[in-house]
Amino acid sequence: MAVVGALIGGVTNHLAIKMLFWPYEAKYIGTFRVPLTPGLIPKRRDELSRQLGRTVVEHLLTPETFKKRFFNEEMRVKSEKWINRQLNKHLFDSPKSFNDWLQAAGQEGMDVKIEAKLDELVELQKDSLQAYIAGKTIRELMPANWKAEAEAKLYEGVEYAINQGTTYFESPHGRQTIKSLLDEFLESRGRFGHMLHSLLGESKPLVDRIQPEIIKFLNSPRTFELVGTLAFSEWEKVQDRRVDALLKEFDFDTALETVKQYVREKAVISTRLNATLAETWPGGLEWTSVNITPLVIDFVFEQGEHKLEETILKIDMEGMVKEQVDSLPLSRLEELVLGISRREFKMITVLGAFLGGFIGVFQGIFVMILN
């Protein structure tokens, strides 16, 4: 009885394990399907694959799992270092000049094109300026603080001019100028002038009298008031002049060409295009790593986290898992399951045999007692 019980327990458990997979297909006797065919897993394969896909999406490969794996601080640091390495390798440490990059992109003669664009920019600024000042006076265009400063400078200029005139006429050179002007005046009066010159003799006495009077006139407050009034009157007239009419008095085209030439010389486009990025921008990598790379990483991580769940839904990971499970041959699926739990299944068979034998021994003892 012990032997028979052990055989029954071991064989039935082994058969139960086999019936998880075997047979792979339903068996028929005529039109009658044999019970318990196909095996449990082949029979429930569709439900198994669907449940497995749902389990993977809801509990294993969730958006939170991807976020923790890919959007953490360690990944951020690695990404920044990788971007900086690529920038240094392909841009800042590259021996290629800007012209080399442009030629690789199929662009030729960029120095001429850029200079033409600079000329166009100057022309646009000129047209914009002319459109802005058209019909307007200096008074309308001048800021209020400029006007106040200009008037202050105007009076300072008048005072400076009078002081300089006083200093000049007090000097020997100024005295000589007075004498020369007086001699020219007397000579220009013909006979009358010659008669005065003969009567007065040397012009020194007249110079001695005229020089102090000129200096006195220049130092007079009324002189300053008179010159200041005249200067301020002319300043008011200038302010009422139209700017566009005033500019017509200048050779604007020549000035414009000079500005264009100045811009081209300062831009030195040919020299700049023949330089490498490292030569043009020595601290470019450091600046980029501080100001640009973190912003790019922040944007990528923010958009990645925002779009991650939507992307997972779009790729239908649950459907992918189900499709892969459905495509596995049943023999491969059986091998996969048994490969993981082969020892446990053997222990179940042994346990069935042990329990069967134990029951057989107990049954034998029980029969002997009854007999």
Considering the domain boundaries, does residue 265 fall inside one? Answer: no
| Same domain membership, residue 155 and residue 232 | yes
- Of 327 and 131, which is predicted with more confidence? 131
Q: Is the pTM of this model over 0.85?
A: no
Query: Which amino acid belongs to residue 319?
Result: G
Q: What would the pLDDT profile of 63-96 be if each residue is shown by its tens digit?
A: 777 777 777 888 888 888 899 888 888 888 888 8
The Cα–Cα gap between 312 and 333 comes to: 26
Is residue 49 over pLDDT 60?
Answer: yes
Considering the domain boundaries, does residue 99 fall inside one? Answer: no
Give the pLDDT score at 47. 72
Quick check: 256 and 127 in contact, CB under 8 A? Answer: no
Considering the domain boundaries, does residue 287 fall inside one? Answer: no
The residue-averaged pLDDT of 234-258 equals 81
Q: What would the pLDDT profile of 185-234 be if each residue is shown by its tens digit?
A: 666 655 655 555 555 555 566 777 778 888 888 888 888 888 888 888 88
Give the pLDDT score at 102. 82
Number of domains in the chain: 2
| Same domain membership, residue 226 and residue 141 | yes
Domain's final residue, options 204, 220, 241: 241
Quick check: 182 and 196 in contact, CB under 8 A? Answer: no
Is residue 357 over pLDDT 70?
Answer: yes
How would DSSP label each residue in 261-278?
HHHHHHH-HHHHHTSBHH
The residue-averaged pLDDT of 249-271 equals 83
Considering the domain boundaries, does residue 92 fall inside one? Answer: no
The residue-averaged pLDDT of 31-38 equals 65
Domain's final residue, options 241, 265, 283: 241
Give the pLDDT score at 217. 86
Give the pLDDT score at 186. 62
Considering the domain boundaries, does residue 28 fall inside one? Answer: yes
Considering the domain boundaries, does residue 35 fall inside one? Answer: yes
Considering the domain boundaries, does residue 103 fall inside one? Answer: no
Can you give the residue range of the structural domain that contains 187?
Answer: 137-241
Give the pLDDT score at 189. 59
Largest CA distance in the chain: 188
Give the pLDDT score at 334. 64
Considering the domain boundaries, does residue 340 fall inside one? Answer: yes
Domain's final residue, options 223, 241, 259: 241
Quick check: 28 and 34 in contact, CB under 8 A? Answer: yes
| Same domain membership, residue 236 and residue 147 | yes
